[in-house]
């Protein structure tokens, strides 16, 4: 049945061994070229027995135009395009003209071919095998780079997949934003990204799991973050050296740097975290040790209804968020100051928890004291993973 169907196809269409074998790609093992050569050989034996002339492989294939002969040239183009790019794994994709794909489908329909393989799939595989043999690189499901080839024009697009690095940062000084802002020379993101961009030769994008205000330090175990490095020229980064360069700034420190997959990076940024804070509370009307202790006692376990703070209303959706204070401890300092150590749900604005934000946060430290209170200084002590 195979040779009978192949004979009918070849009587109408001049096909190379690649395109002939691809009609029966789901049958047997081996390459399509080997399959096509074998089918043509057996077919011609049968034709010879019947006194018919052989059907030899044409000088130019009527379907692909001998595009598979261009593979060595395209391998060289791929090597040139990726020169200077550090990678271990790759994939190949191709863009075939619509008329070639349509002609292949016409043949399938005309002769009832149900065992065929699309031309681009075979071409990608054969080009990938040839490039791998020439370079020692391997194909992978999640590759470092992807080559997109236009087989007839030899035009080539090189996609360099990003690197993702997880870490935690400490912000050791006040007066520095997490991400670049006007009127600030530096930021946590710029200090971290300078080191990664310099080491990788790519563009660095910083993404923090939450943020703290410009005047708030981030201490303790640090805030989780992800660095996405786009189009890196170097992938085998020395994370220890990068950390040392960042930490030498004296303003920002990074911990626990490690490479992660894109899915892991997304989980880091969407995971809920409790936060531990230390707030210096100012009470101009005066506060006693007993009042400070009473505030902490009432805060512990309290549910807070907080409308988007006035100061961030232009950049945050205006809605009421319900958060909880899990732990609260007070330490009286003097007649106007006490410290509050708090463990709260992520997303609770601590400055407004203290002041009340003109009634937008209820209850607040001001409410519990019965007199105005302000957060004079704030530190994030730890980010607590749930």
Binding-site residues for substrate, please? 277, 349
The DSSP code for 81 is H
Burial of 108 (0-12, 13-18, 19+ CB in 10 A): middle
* Under 8 Å between Cβ of 85 and 41: no
Burial of 35 (0-12, 13-18, 19+ CB in 10 A): buried
State phi, psi for 354 to the nearest 5 degrees.
Answer: -80, -50
Residue ranges for the binding site?
277, 349
Task: Count the neighbouring beta carbons within 10 Å of the beta carbon of residue 63.
Answer: 21
Alpha carbons 385 and 348: distance in angstroms, whole number: 16
The encoded tokens of residue 297 equal: 């006692």
State phi, psi for 115 to the nearest 5 degrees.
Answer: -120, 15
Alpha carbons 68 and 54: distance in angstroms, whole number: 23
Helix (H, G, I), strand (E, B) or coil at 339: strand
Could you tell me which residues come within 8 angstroms of residue 23 by beta carbon, excluding any fewer than 6 positions away?
Answer: 5, 6, 9, 107, 108, 111, 113, 115, 116
The encoded tokens of residue 129 equal: 């095998």
Q: What is the four-CA torsion angle of 25, 27, 33, 37, rounded to 10 degrees? A: -140
Active-site choice (88, 213, 238, 285):
213
Confirm whether 213 is a catalytic residue: yes
255 φψ region: left (φ > 0), alpha (ψ -120 to 50), beta (else)? beta
List residues with catalytic annotation: 213
């Amino acid at each position: 049945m195979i040779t009978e169907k192949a004979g009918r196809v070849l009587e109408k269409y001049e096909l190379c061994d690649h395109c002939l074998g691809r009609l029966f790609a789901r049958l047997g093992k081996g390459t399509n070229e080997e399959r096509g050569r074998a089918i043509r050989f057996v077919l011609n034996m049968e034709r010879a027995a019947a006194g018919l002339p052989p059907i030899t492989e044409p000088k130019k294939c009527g379907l692909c135009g001998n595009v598979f002969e261009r593979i060595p040239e395209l391998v060289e183009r791929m090597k040139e395009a990726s020169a200077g790019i550090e990678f271990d794994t790759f994939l190949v994709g191709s863009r075939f003209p619509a008329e070639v794909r349509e002609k292949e489908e016409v043949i399938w329909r005309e002769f009832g071919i149900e065992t065929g393989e699309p031309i681009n799939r075979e071409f990608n595989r054969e080009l990938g095998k040839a490039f791998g043999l020439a370079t020692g690189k391997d194909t992978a499901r999640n590759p470092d780079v992807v080559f997109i080839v236009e087989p007839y024009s030899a035009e080539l697009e090189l996609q360099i997949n990003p690197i993702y690095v997880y870490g935690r940062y400490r912000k050791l000084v006040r007066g520095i934003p997490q991400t670049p802002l006007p009127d600030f020379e530096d930021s946590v993101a710029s200090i971290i990204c300078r080191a990664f961009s310099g080491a990788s030769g790519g563009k660095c994008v910083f993404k923090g799991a939450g943020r703290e205000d410009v005047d708030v330090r981030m201490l303790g175990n640090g805030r989780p973050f992800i660095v996405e490095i786009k189009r890196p020229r170097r992938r085998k980064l020395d994370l220890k050296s990068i950390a040392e360069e960042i930490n030498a700034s004296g303003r920002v420190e990074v911990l626990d740097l490690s490479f992660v997959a894109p899915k892991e990076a997304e989980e880091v940024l969407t995971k809920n975290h409790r936060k531990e804070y230390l707030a210096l509370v100012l009470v101009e009307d005066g506060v006693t040790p007993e009042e400070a202790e009473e505030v902490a006692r009432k805060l512990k376990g309290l549910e807070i209804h907080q409308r988007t703070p006035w100061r961030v209303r232009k950049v945050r959706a205006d809605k009421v968020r319900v958060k909880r204070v899990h732990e609260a401890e007070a330490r009286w300092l003097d007649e106007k100051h006490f410290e509050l150590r708090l463990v709260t749900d992520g997303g609770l604005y601590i400055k407004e928890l203290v002041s009340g934000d003109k009634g937008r946060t209820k209850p607040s430290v001001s409410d519990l004291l019965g007199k105005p209170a302000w957060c004079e200084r704030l530190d994030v002590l730890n980010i607590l993973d749930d």
